[in-house]
Amino acid sequence: MAQSKHLSNLEPWQDPKAQPYVSIKNITKTFGGRVAVNNVSLSIFRGELFSLLGRSGCGKTTLLRMLAGFESPTSGKIFIDGIDMTDTPAYKRPVSMVFQSYALFPHMTVEQNIAFGLIQEGLPKDEIRDRVNEYLELVQMSGYERRTPAQLSGGERQRVALARSLVKQPKLVLLDEPLAALDKKLRERTQLELVNIQEKVGVTFIMVSHDQEEAMTMSSRIGLMNEGRILQIGGPTEIYEYPNSKYVANFIGSVNLFDGIIVEEKFDHVIVKSTIIEKNLYITPSASVPVGAQISVAIRPEKVMLTDTQPDGEYNWTNGTVKDIVYLGDVSIYHVRLRSGAIVFATVTNSVRAAERPIQWDDEVFLYWKAENGIILAM
């Protein structure tokens, strides 16, 4: 998976001495009294592919547009490579933007589209030709020079748009939902191509997305936004495995949430009494939580195991009736209704054909999970 390449690189955000390439400091933007971006501070490092992720209207595009210089902040500062760019106009920033709708000139050929910015800069003809060829090759579009955008597929158009942005050798590329217009299959392929291109040229990418799978596949880190604020910043694995709130846990993938109260706290575990299941939960948390605290335990569906025999021990299991089996090809998601009425989801890998499955609709089943797979979240 593409993300592993990023994770194997050095992680500058772990190094307190590393200088961020982009620094967003206490940025707020209001439109007619309504807050779109609310006191956001963020550091992004050279060579990162950083995604701003969140629901429609959470403020991610507004933040990106302020980085590009298309919008000015109501308050706060933006630094790029250590230089205060807050009041610098868009055309003077070392930034290039790739839009969702490609924004190619329809009457120009692929070659003319890519060369456009370089001609405006007044570069010599030979250099323009060499640079255009180099970037056509980079996006694997050599041979398409004479076509117009109407003669290209959506994925090809987006690759030309990317080449047009990169050919000017910007230090920072901002991408506004760059793959949203592509169908699912093509989008998945283009995600990996984009990551490969970004790694080859080593330019910093900041991308806006509302698609969590896309952000997880492509990003070095993700900033998850809601209502103008950043709720959590972290690598894909960190955000998935250690969400810091119920909102983040629900937004990234699906999750089972067991609301409850801490009834025992020891140095290596806590015990949670939940209103949803009869057995208590025994969890090995990363932070200490006091007895009496109202919390929620999050357990991912793929960490919940299904069986038709009663598990041993007094913790971390429950039972119920299979109410639905959602078949997704490689896996199936079992919806199990507990006596309390709550539904728990369990993801099971389909190693046998559907008809041979040992557990079927309306079967009584047991669900269990490991102590280390529970995440304690504030209510």
Q: How far is the CB of 29 from ligand ATP (least distance, A)?
A: 8
Both structure tokens of 77? 């500062």
Helix ranges restricted to H, the chain: 2-8, 60-68, 110-120, 125-138, 154-166, 184-201, 212-218, 236-241, 246-251
Q: How far is the CB of 178 from ligand ATP (least distance, A)?
A: 13
Report the interhelical angle of 184-201 vs 125-138 (nearest 10°): 130
In whole angstroms, give the CA distance from residue 41 to residue 23: 7
| Residue bearing tokens 């987006």 | 158
Q: How far is the CB of 310 from ligand ATP (least distance, A)?
A: 47
Closest CB to ligand ATP among 101 and 340?
101
Q: How far is the CB of 59 from ligand ATP (least distance, A)?
A: 4
In whole angstroms, give the CA distance from residue 379 to residue 258: 10
| Residues binding ligand ATP (CB under 6 A) | 31, 36, 54, 56-62, 210
Closest CB to ligand ATP among 33 and 290?
33
Closest CB to ligand ATP among 90 and 293?
90
Closest CB to ligand ATP among 57 and 143?
57
The answer for residues whose C-beta is within 8 angstroms of residue 330's C-beta and 6 or more apart is: 349, 350
In whole angstroms, give the CA distance from residue 306 to residue 319: 9
Closest CB to ligand ATP among 61 and 274?
61
| CB closest to ligand ATP, residue no | 61
Closest CB to ligand ATP among 33 and 341?
33
Q: How far is the CB of 191 from ligand ATP (least distance, A)?
A: 18
Q: How far is the CB of 343 from ligand ATP (least distance, A)?
A: 29
b/e 335-367 (16+ beta carbons within 10 angstroms → b): bbebeeebebbbbbeeeeeeeebebeeebebbb
In whole angstroms, give the CA distance from residue 183 to residue 190: 10
Q: How far is the CB of 34 from ligand ATP (least distance, A)?
A: 6
Closest CB to ligand ATP among 59 and 234?
59
In whole angstroms, give the CA distance from residue 263 to residue 289: 10
The CA-based dihedral angle spanning residues 177, 181, 182, 188, taken in that order and rounded to the nearest 10 degrees: 20
Q: How far is the CB of 55 from ligand ATP (least distance, A)?
A: 7
Alpha-carbon distances, residue 160 vs 109, 163, 197, 254 (angstroms): 10, 5, 12, 35
Q: How distant is the alpha carbon of residue 63 from its chain centre?
A: 16
Closest CB to ligand ATP among 59 and 301?
59
